[in-house]
Amino acid sequence: MIDLVLATRNRDKISEIQQSLRTLNVRILTFGDIRDLPIVKENGRSLYENALKKAFLISSWTKKLALSDDSGLEVDFLNKRPGVKSARFSGENATYEDNNLKLLKLLTGVSEERRKAQFKCVMILSFPDGRIEQFEGILNGEIATSGKGNNGFGYDPIFFVPEIGKTLAEINQEEKNKISHRGKALKKVYRFLENYINQRYGN
């Protein structure tokens, strides 16, 4: 069985990735399994740059296949901000709640049509030989006027998805993975790795 190292320290992302890839024939390893796994500084100008840096460094260091996720929220009214700075929207040590409050405040009085937003997820698979594969997923929605729901993480309580009439925090992880930006990217990762494993190891 091949090892797949997750190049992220975000436990919420790890949980969603583990759930989506649970039936894939790989052994998923996280920073809890590998001693002294390097911490990668996320200072890129795009989701792609950050995702590439994380996956490449972790696969070079571990000499194993690594999967990274860089994701962000783009709000139309804010000219696609916070984007790549989603985690640090209200400062270096911002909590999810700080970020949500800042966003709600910036959108005070803004009409429904102008609250459109997209979640974007860029995933990179980096192979020990330097080969790179990129996968993406997008989820369209709008920023609610107040938080709703207790599931998920980050901006989930204020991200309303019109198709289901709920915020992402009002659905469970399995339902979120079916529609989310990360879930969509992970479906592509899943198919790619399934083919890779079949070709490489056959059955």
Q: Cβ distance 17 to 35 under 8 Å?
A: no
For ligand IMP, the binding residue among 55, 70, 117, 185 (CB under 6 A) is 70
Interface with ligand IMP, residue 83, by CB under 6 A = no
Cβ proximity to ligand IMP: between 175 and 194 the closer is 175
For residue 44, what are the β-bridge partners? Answer: none
Cβ proximity to ligand IMP: between 65 and 152 the closer is 152
Applying the rule CB under 6 A, the residues between 102 and 131 that interact with ligand IMP are 119
3-class SS of residue 81: strand
For ligand IMP, the binding residue among 20, 59, 86, 118 (CB under 6 A) is 86
Number of residues that bind ligand IMP (CB under 6 A): 18
Interface with ligand IMP, residue 141, by CB under 6 A = no
Long-range pairs of 127-135 with CB within 8 A, sequence gap ≥ 24: 127/59, 127/65, 128/59, 128/60, 128/63, 128/64, 128/65, 132/52, 132/55, 132/56, 133/192, 134/48, 134/51, 135/185, 135/186, 135/188, 135/189, 135/192
Tracing tokens 């998920």 back to the chain, one arrives at 152
Applying the rule CB under 6 A, the residues between 151 and 170 that interact with ligand IMP are 152-156, 168
Interface with ligand IMP, residue 42, by CB under 6 A = yes
| Active site annotation includes 33 | no
Interface with ligand IMP by CB under 6 A: which residues?
Answer: 10, 42, 70-73, 86-87, 99, 119, 152-156, 168, 180, 182
